[in-house]
Amino acid sequence: MDQFARNIKFWGEEKQALLKESSILIAGMGGLGCTVAENLVRAGIGQLILVDNDIVTETNLNRQILFNQLDIGKSKVIIAQKKLLRINNEIEIITIDRKIESINDFTEIKSNFCGIADCLDNYKSRFILNDVLKDNQFMVHGGVKNDFGQITTIKNGITQNLRQIFGDQKDEIEPGIIPQTVITIGSLMTQEIINNLFGKPQLLNKMLILELSDFSMFKVEMK
Partner 1 sequence: MIKIKFYSLLRMFLKQNEIEINEDNISVLNLLQKVAEKTNKDLLAELIEAGKLIPGIIILLNGRNIYHLEKLDTIVSNSDKIDIFPPGGGG
Site for partner 1, residues 49 to 88, rule: CB under 8 A: none
CB of 59 to partner 1, least distance (A): 12
In the chain, what is the straight-line distance between the N-terminal and C-terminal CA atoms, in Å?
Answer: 42
Under the binding rule (CB under 8 A), the answer on residue 198 touching partner 1 is no
Under the binding rule (CB under 8 A), the answer on residue 202 touching partner 1 is no
| Closer CB to partner 1, 16 or 97, in the complex | 97
| Residue (of 59, 101, 57, 53) closest to 77 by Cα position | 53
Site for partner 1, residues 19 to 48, rule: CB under 8 A: 28, 30-33
Distance CA 142, CA 3 (A): 28
Q: DSSP 3-state assignment of 208? A: strand
Dihedral over Cα of 23, 191, 116, 144: its sign: negative
Helix, strand, coil fractions of the chain, as percent rounded to 5: 40, 25, 35
Q: Which of 7, 169, 187, 195 binds partner 1 (CB under 8 A)?
A: 169
Under the binding rule (CB under 8 A), the answer on residue 127 touching partner 1 is no
CB of 160 to partner 1, least distance (A): 8
Under the binding rule (CB under 8 A), the answer on residue 222 touching partner 1 is yes
Are the CB atoms for 206 and 222 separated by under 8 Å?
yes
14: Cβ–Cβ under 8 A, 6 or more apart, which residues? none
Give how many residues touch partner 1 by CB under 8 A. 43
Under the binding rule (CB under 8 A), the answer on residue 223 touching partner 1 is yes
143: Cβ–Cβ under 8 A, 6 or more apart, which residues? 149, 150, 185
Q: Which of 15, 127, 156, 211 binds partner 1 (CB under 8 A)?
A: 211
- E strand or H helix that includes residue 221: strand 216-221
Q: Which of 59, 89, 104, 213 binds partner 1 (CB under 8 A)?
A: 213
Q: Which of 88, 91, 123, 127 binds partner 1 (CB under 8 A)?
A: 123
| Closer CB to partner 1, 136 or 202, in the complex | 202
Under the binding rule (CB under 8 A), the answer on residue 143 touching partner 1 is yes
Distance CA 100, CA 146 (A): 24
**Binding interface with partner 1 (CB under 8 A):** 28, 30-33, 119-123, 142-146, 148-150, 160, 164-172, 174-175, 177, 182, 185, 205, 209, 211, 213, 216, 218, 220-223
